[in-house]
Structures are given as C-alpha cells and as structure tokens.
Structure 1
Amino acid sequence: MKIFTLSAALGLALATSAQAETVSYQDQEKLHDIAAAVSADRIEHDITKLVSFGTRHTLSETESDTRGIGAARRWIKAEFDKISAACGGCLEVYFQSRVISGESRIPNPTEVVSVIAVQRGSVDPDRYVIMSGDIDSRVSDVMDATSDAPGANDNASGVAGTLEAARVLSQYEFAGSIVYAALAGEEQGLFGGKIMAEQAQADGWRIKAVLNNDMIGNIEGVNGVINNSTARIFAEGTRMDETEADARRRRFTGGEVDSPSRNVARYIDWMADRYIPNLDTMVIYRLDRFGRGGHHRPFNDLGYPGVRIMETNENYNRQHQDLRVEDGIAYGDTLDGVDFDYAAKLTALNAVSLASMAWAPSPPAGVSIAGAVQPSTTLSWEPAEAEEQELIGGYRIYWRHTDAPNWEFSRDVGLVNSYTLENIVIDNYFFGVASVSKDGFESPVVYPGPAGAFGE
C-alpha cells in the first residue's frame, strides 16, 4: 500500500495546478476574413500565365516579351505594381539583381534578377516577415535553358501564392513590414535567396520570419496517395550561426528543438489549426527534405528564422522532368498536376501567419531564464523598443514537457519584464515568452538564450 505524506500530496496538487493552465488564445476575426479572401481562381490565372512563358530557366531568354525568365520577371513586377496601385502605392516594388558567374550551374556571367515588394509597417517598419516563391523552372538537365519547362507546381504555385497573399494583405495596415519576394536562381544554386539575405543583412533588416513556399499545389503523390488536407513545414533545429560558446551553453540548457525557425513553424501550425479549415500541418524537424534544399536556407545560413512550407505528397514524375510519355506515364510539371484549391489553402495559411506576426509586437529580445536548484522558474526579457511601447499589451509565458512537440501551458503575466512561475521546476519543462498586442495578436514564442533568440 502506498502512503502519501502531506508534503507529497501538496506537491502533486501544485503540479496538477501548474499543468492545468492550458494554452490560451484570443481568436481574431480579421484572420478569418483574410483566409476567406484568398482566391483559387486568381491563383489559377497566375500559374497559367507563368506556365505560358515556356521556360523560366535562370539561363533562358531575357529579351522576349513572351518567353523566358526575362518576360516572367517583368510580368511579376507588373502584377506587384498593379497591386500597389490598387492600395494607393502601399508597396515598394523593385528588381533585385546580381551578376553570377563561375559557378557549376552558372558558368558564364548571368544576371540573376528577383522581384521584391515591400509593404511597410506603420509602427515598426524595420521589422520584417517575408513570404517567398521561386520564379525559375527546369527540366531533367539542369543546364537545359531552351526546352519547355512549364514549372506549374515547381514553382509557379509558390510565386502565384505570393502574389495572391500580396493582393489580400495589401488591403490592411500592419505594425511591422511584410515582404513578398519572387526569387530567381533557385534551381541553379539558391542564388536569389543568397542575394536577398545578404542585402537584408547589409541593410540591417530585422527579419523575424521567412516563409519559403516551394511547391504548394500538388495533392497526388508518386505513390498514388491523394491528400488535400495536410501540408509540411520544414524547420531546422540548431541555428547555423551558433558559436562554440553558445553550443556549450546549449548542451546544458537545451534549445536543440527550439530554434527561432522551429518556433515560427509551431506558430504557423497553430494558425492552420485555428484559421484554415481542413488543413493539418506537419512540422518536420529538418532543414528541408532529406538531402535537398530550398530558398529559406540562405536566410538560415545568416541566422534568420526561416521555414519551408509545401505539399505533403510529392510527385517525382512531375519534378525536374523533360516533357514526355514513357511506358504510359506522363512526365513533366504541367498545369494538370496542380490543385488550385489546395494552393489557395496553403496561400491562406501564409497570409494569416504573416498578418498575425505583422500585427503582433516583435518577439521579446534578451530572454533569459533562472531557477537551477530552486523550486520555481524565473523568466526575464528586455523592454520593447520605444516605437512598440504603445503596441504592447503584455507578455505570455509558455511551457511544455521536454518531450512534447508543441507548447502545452501558458500564463498571461501582464506588462512586466520578469516573472517567476512558482512551484514549476526549471528541470522538468521547456519555457518561452511571447509578446502580445493590446488587441490580442501575439508573436512567435522565444526560447531563452542564444539558441532561441530572434535577433535584435
């Protein structure tokens, strides 16, 4: 027979009380409106137009108005310009380019040109969240710049989603800035992302999230599985810019599964649960698909939080293939392989995630934690920047069991910069802090220390 002492019973009661504080959240009607405003018809129109350029290979034709990468990027810029005109000039639209040469997939001097559209925030315009898709396409031979390469799903779908998100979100004003990027040179070596990330670093952009959309329109896997109700979010663990000192600290304090990229992924997963009907997202604890890469990686390389959003079931007969039929199997990335309603669903997920982060305050900076050999845990963080003081309504502390994938418990702690969770032992949980606006929009959760920091 087990005998419980008074102290043991009290400890059990305290533990039960601590765990009863399940995650709280304020529903936002505006995010439901944004999700509903995304149009599958407009996405279909844009994917069809991008496919009509024949090929969008990085080394393809640039002078024609109807074929090649040059015509495609000029059309994309014109679309962003139209969106800006419709919102009274709310977007700053420009080409971003650099000449690349001497690379295995770009041996001769080639201008790699991306299209960028920036929607400036009204409170903290130097804080950015970014949505991107890739302009370029390819066939079986990565150096074949002349054959037809429709690239309907890979990655006209991501570019069309980015354009549609801009159409919807440009009707609103946000505290932070949102960037819509159509990046070039992905198939030749992630060059558009590298150029943008390096320029952002040089310009001092405070990037809080990069949502890279690469293939968001296919629902039929090469194995025959058809699924339009799930999507994947890839997010790296240990941050690429971690120092040796940070790694030593992480060994003793944790953070391997709480990089800012991982907490952005958890944030997007929550958005799917709350605002996108019939969509369940899988957070994949990996930079990208096994041994492969995407345009979020150059941002991760410089320490920025970034994830890849994409379909769950890939069809390899439609990726990087010459247009042909062999043994009754049609190969090639054509329009009939895209489900436009599904692409709209993933676009809506991007739109509500961007909007929520841009309406929310910046993630807390300087988050630290204390509580070793104590019965309680104390979290501290820096006050918000001066421009955001009027935006901040308070802070929310999160915690979860160390083997739990998502945050399980939360507590609103008010407009303070330090708070002690009594009788919640630091050794038994992972912890984090989010900023919350006066109208209830919250930032991604920040894990304490360098492993989880979102930058300045």
Structure 2
Amino acid sequence: MAMNKSALAKLLPAMALAGGFSTAAVAAENPQVDYQDQAKIHEIVAQVSAENIERDIEKLVSFGTRHTLSETESDTRGIGAARRWIKAEFEKISAACGNCLDVYFQSQVIEGETRIPDPVEVVSVIAVQKGTQDPNRYVIMSGDIDSRVSDVMDFTSDAPGANDNASGVAGALEAARVLSQYKFDGSIVYAALAGEEQGLFGGRIMAEQAKADGWNIEAVLNNDMIGNIEGINGVINNTTARIFAEGTRMDETDREETRRRYTGGEVDSPTRNVARYVDWVADRYIPNLDTMVVYRLDRFGRGGHHRPFNDLGFPGVRIMETNENYNRQHQDLRTENGIEYGDTIDGVNFDYAAKLTSLNAAALANMAWAPAPPAKVSIAGAVKPSTTLSWNKVNGAAGYKIYWRYTDAPQWQYSRYVGDVNEFTLENVVIDNYYFGVASVSDDGFESPVVFPGPSGAFSINRDDD
C-alpha cells in the first residue's frame, strides 16, 4: 500500500522502537522533525499570481524569437527587445518597493565557441534585493531568457520558447513582485540569464563574477521549464515536480575525496541538502505538490544554468516539471502526421507555473530569513556509544538543531533542538548507523539548510579550514 510522507512521519517513532531504541530514548531524541510553521510563508505562497505569470509569458513569446544570436536593435523582436523589457519590469517592481532592487545588465562578449563562433554580447538581467543583516549572503532564483528551434544556430525563425524558458523568467519576475514587499536578513537575487541554449554562458558569467566579488552564495534555484503538465509519456499531472541535485561537489580536492571515502558525504553535498530543504518546503507550504529529488546533476546527458555555479563550488539545483513533452522542446513550428510541434503558449499551464513559482518564493524566503548555515561542522564518535557534533556559531542564530537519518533514507528523519551551543552529544546514538547534520535556527524559528560534517557538506567556498 502506498504511504504519503505525513503518514510515514507518524510511524517513525514506532520504526525507531523496532530498530532498537528504548521508549525513553525515542522521547529524549525527539524523532519527529519538528520545523516551526511560519505564517509569513503561507502568506507569500498565497500572493503568487497565475495571471501575472500568464501575462509575462505572453509578452516574452510576443518577441518572436529570443535566440542569443537574434536581433538586438528592434523594440519588438529578438533577444535585445526581450532583455530590455525584462529589465524594465524589474525596475517597475523596484519602484513599487521604494527602489529596493538593484537592477542591472550583466554582459560579456563571447566568441570562438561551437554555438557562438562570431563575437556576440551575451546579456543577462540581474535584480538584487539586499539583505538587512547579512547582505553578502545570497540566495538566487534564475530562469533563462533565450529560446531556440530545431537547429540551434537558427536565429531568425520564430522560437516562442513559452515553456522553455519564458516560464522560468516569468516565475523570477513574479517571485520578485511578491518577495520585494518584505525585508530579509540575507540577500535575494532574481536572475534572467542569457545564452543558455548556446552553452550556459549567462550562468557562467554570473557565477564567475559572484566568485570574483566574494559573494557567499547559499543556494541557486534554477528554474528551467516549470509550466508543462502533459508528458510525452501520456501522463498529465500538475501535482509533482523534480529537483535535480548533484552529489559529490565538482571542485572536491583529492584530500577531500579520501576523507569522504571513510566518513561519507556522497549524498550530502550542500547542493543535495538544498534540494532536501526545497523538498521539505514543498511538503510544508505548497498545497498539492510533491517534489522528487533526483540524485543527478540534470536530466540524463543534458544541462542547465545551475551547472556553472556547481562548477565553482556554489550549491545549486534545477527545479522543473516532472513530465516533459519533447515535441514542444527545441522544435521548429510545424505539424507532422497530426502532431503539433513547437514550444507555444498553449502548452503552458499557468496555475502549475504559479505553483512552482510559489515553491521558489517560499524556499527563498525561508533561507533569507534564516541565519547562515553553521560553519566548520565536525563530528566524532568512532568506537563510542554516542555521537558528538561541533560547529562554529554564525551571526543571527539563536540556536542550532541537530538532524540525523538512517544512511539509506532520502530525507532527514530525526531532529533535536540543542539551543545556543557549539557542541552537543547525542547519547546512545551510534555514529556508524546514521548520517548527521546541523542547521542554524533564528529566534523566530526559521532554519537554514542542514550542513553535513566536514568538507563534503560545507557551504563555504573556501573549505581549507573545514
């Protein structure tokens, strides 16, 4: 019989008993994962508008093509008109919140590439909502501006790109409209990235600039196709979504790899724990949505704009629909054998796009209101009956919560709030049988993503001292 996550959570105490815990130990260690519900997050979710998203997708489609190599001078057609309109929309949002957004173009001339052989200025639109307490800590929501047809070098044919990826850009705009009404401790970035179809250039430019500027990026939520509910496999479902998340970090050193071999961490990179965090947000705050965390960088053999951030050590995931329709992706507009091809607006479900946008907004708000993840988390307990975790405190944290789960469990199962300390021992919880982590908690109950001990799970970019 199928069992939902809520029912499973109710059975955890009994499962723990069956696994050898005493009744007293179960009560003491608080096996229920007891996140504090936040009314402000429910309020944010309720404000996301499917009508706004529909309007924005219609406008983006109206530019005919948004191919990276397309027209830049026209006010009505091509990538130039599209990016100027996006920037103007972010500026309207900023004006409505007292100029709370720093809106700018971010560009670089690319040439000599397979898909950009001649010099082309790749231009993204960035909007930054600075945090009030920890402004150099960033959480980012991104979507891709550009579109394409069957031939990736065809920059003149109509390429509506309604779902791929006007839906992601429209989501970023709508998240900005809603979240700009609030003030957050950390900074939130809304990014419309260019050059994705030609080689992930917008993401690479942004990630490299963020590293050069010393940005502390806690999470990148890349939204690429969040509007389709009718799969080519015949499934029609608006209640599920996927979160793609890489395992071991791309920039892992040989020393870190050796350490991971003996201590674990293959499924606990910061990216994986961001994915678990978003998955939990969906369960808690988004009605009628179940997310699937996929243990893979992206779809098989394919890529997205979170990858350049992962390449530089930043945590980043891809959020997208579960059931893709390949007849509507990267296709010339045509009808063959009664099948309509092309990424047109009639293939977008706006309520579903709003649902995934609300997931992003809720996750961004949770992280931006929470303290930074704890630093330098370490663990000890070999050949002992108990497990000790220690960490460096972070600004804004009122306390810390320890999480643990069985090593083959996908999501955290047990937790214990331990207060404003930097070390705690879980008595009679054997280190060999579980994976562990630590989250920071604000005075009003917002929690950071969980940090797995050691360099495999560290959120910091410079991990030399972790």
Instruction: Give the alignment's TM-score, normalised by structure 1.
Output: 0.96
Equivalent position of 1:3 in the other structure: none
Q: 1:26 to 1:63 in 2, by over 3 A?
A: same
Q: Distance in 2 between matches of 1:10 and 1:377?
A: 17
Q: Distance in 2 between matches of 1:299 and 1:106?
A: 21
Amino acid at match of 2:84: R
Q: Distance in 2 between matches of 1:403 and 1:273?
A: 20
Q: Distance in 1 between matches of 2:29 and 2:296?
A: 29
Q: Distance in 2 between matches of 1:10 and 1:86?
A: 57
SS at match of 2:107: strand
Mapped contact 2:134–2:185 kept (Cα < 8 A): yes
One of 353, 356, 359 as aligned partner of 1:349: 359
Amino acid at match of 1:287: L
Q: Distance in 1 between matches of 2:81 and 2:23?
A: 67
Q: Distance in 2 between matches of 1:206 and 1:138?
A: 33
Q: Deviation of residue 380 (structure 1)?
A: 0.5
Q: Distance in 1 between matches of 2:21 and 2:210?
A: 50
Equivalent position of 1:446 in the other structure: 451
**Structure 1: unaligned runs, 5 residues or longer:** 1-8
Is 1:411–2:416 an aligned residue pair? yes
One of 178, 199, 204 as aligned partner of 1:189: 199
One of 76, 93, 96 as aligned partner of 2:103: 93
Q: Distance in 2 between matches of 1:11 and 1:158?
A: 46
Q: Distance in 2 between matches of 1:13 and 1:163?
A: 50
Mapped contact 2:30–2:416 kept (Cα < 8 A): no
Q: Distance in 2 between matches of 1:254 and 1:14?
A: 29
Q: Distance in 2 between matches of 1:205 and 1:222?
A: 40
Equivalent position of 2:435 in the other structure: 430
Equivalent position of 2:295 in the other structure: 285
Q: Deviation of residue 13 (structure 1)?
A: 5.2
Q: Deviation of residue 307 (structure 1)?
A: 0.1
Mapped contact 1:14–1:423 kept (Cα < 8 A): no
Equivalent position of 1:4 in the other structure: none
Equivalent position of 1:274 in the other structure: 284
Is 1:381–2:391 an aligned residue pair? yes
One of 370, 377, 384 as aligned partner of 1:367: 377
Q: Deviation of residue 228 (structure 1)?
A: 0.3
Equivalent position of 1:6 in the other structure: none
Mapped contact 1:80–1:93 kept (Cα < 8 A): yes
Where does 1:52-201 land on structure 2 (aligned, <5 Å)?
Answer: 52-201=62-211
Q: Deviation of residue 87 (structure 1)?
A: 0.1
Q: Distance in 2 between matches of 1:165 and 1:204?
A: 25
Count of residues in Structure 1 that have an aligned counterpart in Structure 2: 443
Q: Deviation of residue 21 (structure 1)?
A: 2.1
One of 323, 331, 351 as aligned partner of 2:341: 331
Q: Distance in 2 between matches of 1:71 and 1:401?
A: 52
Q: Distance in 2 between matches of 1:441 and 1:223?
A: 39
Percent identity among equivalent residues?
80
Q: 1:14 to 1:249 in 2, by over 3 A?
A: farther
1:229-284 CA-to-partner distances (Å, cap 9, x unmatched) read 00000000000010000000000000000000000000000100111000000000
Q: Distance in 2 between matches of 1:11 and 1:113?
A: 57
Q: Distance in 1 between matches of 2:129 and 2:20?
A: 54
SS at match of 1:298: helix
Q: 1:87 to 1:11 in 2, by over 3 A?
A: closer
1:90-141 CA-to-partner distances (Å, cap 9, x unmatched) read 0000000000000000000000000000000000000000000000000000
Q: Distance in 2 between matches of 1:216 and 1:17?
A: 41
Q: 1:124 to 1:20 in 2, by over 3 A?
A: closer
Mapped contact 1:235–1:287 kept (Cα < 8 A): yes
Q: Distance in 2 between matches of 1:455 and 1:131?
A: 19
Q: Distance in 1 between matches of 2:281 and 2:210?
A: 27
Mapped contact 1:162–1:182 kept (Cα < 8 A): yes
SS at match of 2:187: strand
Mapped contact 1:131–1:162 kept (Cα < 8 A): yes
Q: Deviation of residue 19 (structure 1)?
A: 6.4
Equivalent position of 1:5 in the other structure: none
Amino acid at match of 1:404: A
Equivalent position of 2:397 in the other structure: 392
Amino acid at match of 1:234: F
Mapped contact 1:15–1:424 kept (Cα < 8 A): no
SS at match of 2:192: strand
Where does 1:239-250 land on structure 2 (aligned, <5 Å)?
Answer: 239-250=249-260
1:334-385 CA-to-partner distances (Å, cap 9, x unmatched) read 000000000000000000000000000000010000011111101000121x
Q: Deviation of residue 306 (structure 1)?
A: 0.2
SS at match of 1:392: coil
Equivalent position of 1:304 in the other structure: 314
One of 22, 47, 52 as aligned partner of 1:37: 47
Is 1:322–2:332 an aligned residue pair? yes
Equivalent position of 2:270 in the other structure: 260
Q: RMSD value over aligned CA atoms?
A: 1.2
Mapped contact 1:397–1:410 kept (Cα < 8 A): yes
Mapped contact 2:400–2:418 kept (Cα < 8 A): yes
Q: Distance in 1 between matches of 2:143 and 2:32?
A: 36
Mapped contact 2:246–2:295 kept (Cα < 8 A): yes
Instruction: Give the alignment's TM-score, normalised by structure 2.
Output: 0.94
SS at match of 1:167: helix
Q: Distance in 1 between matches of 2:26 and 2:175?
A: 43
Where does 1:15-54 land on structure 2 (aligned, <5 Å)?
Answer: 16-17=26-27, 21-54=31-64
Q: 1:262 to 1:421 in 2, by over 3 A?
A: same
